[in-house]
Copies of this chain bind each other. A is one copy, B any other.
Amino acid sequence: MKNNSSDTKKKSTTQTKKTTTASKKNNAAVSTGITVSAELLIFSIDEDKLQLLMIEREEKPYAGLLALPSVEVGIKENLDDAALRGITEVTGLDDIYYEQLYTFGDTGRDPSKRNISVSYMALVPIEKLAFRPGERVAGVWLVDVDDLLEGDDEIAFDHREMIEYARWYLADRTESTTIAFHLVDDMFTLPDLQRAYEIILGRSLYKANFRKKVAGLIEETEYLTTGEAHRPSRLYVLAEE
Contacts and interface: CB of A to CB of B under 8 A. Distances in A.
User: What is the interface residue range for chain A against chain B?
Assistant: 35 or more
Contact of A79 (B29, B116, B177): B116
Contacts of A106: 78-80
Contacts of A213: 1
A79 B105 contact: yes
A6 interface: yes
How often does this chain occur in the complex, in copies? Answer: 2
A179 interface: yes
Contacts of A114: 75-76
Given A80-B105, A107-B76, A118-B103, A178 B216 contact: no
A70 interface: no
A100 B7 CA distance: 10
A33 interface: yes
Interface string A97-109: 0011011111100
A128 interface: no
A6 B169 CA distance: 11
Nearest to A179: B6
Contacts of A30: 32-33
Contact of A99 (B9, B35, B116): B9
Interface of A: 1-9, 12, 29-36, 73, 75-80, 82, 99-100, 102-107, 114, 116, 118, 173, 176-179, 182, 213, 216
